[in-house]
Amino acid sequence: MLSKLAILLKAFSETLRLLMERESLGGKGTTVVFPREGRIKAPIRDAIERNVFNSASIELDHETVRKRFLLRVQSSRVPFMTWSTG
């Protein structure tokens, strides 16, 4: 069981790494990762936005050398490691 979890976490980590690389090719700044049209069908995207993120958005911050995912809620920006641990 533990080895399956390790494989799952490794795959998830690699997916995030590839997403960071692909999304940050446009230069410096911030890129909205979710919600974004064209990625997920509208009814599914809207349901996730409404029921999971509650009008928040996920952004990729690549203003510095260190890239990171942020949860934006109104004017607040919370790093991934903060909001994903709870």
User: 52-76: per-residue pLDDT in tens?
Assistant: 778 788 888 877 777 888 888 888 8
Asked if the model's pLDDT at residue 30 lies above 70, the reply is: no
Has residue 38 got a pLDDT over 80?
Answer: no
> Which of the four pLDDT bands, split at 50, 70 and 90, describes residue 24?
low
Tokens of 18: 């590839």
Interatomic CA distance for residues 23 and 30, integer angstroms: 9
pLDDT at 28: 65
**What percent of the chain has a predicted confidence (pLDDT) above 90?**
0
Q: What is the pTM of this model?
A: 0.61
**pLDDT(29) > 70:** no
Which residues, other chains included, contact 68 with Cβ-Cβ below 8 Å and sequence gap of 6+?
Answer: 60, 61, 79, 80
Q: Report the chain's mean pLDDT, rounded to a whole number.
A: 77
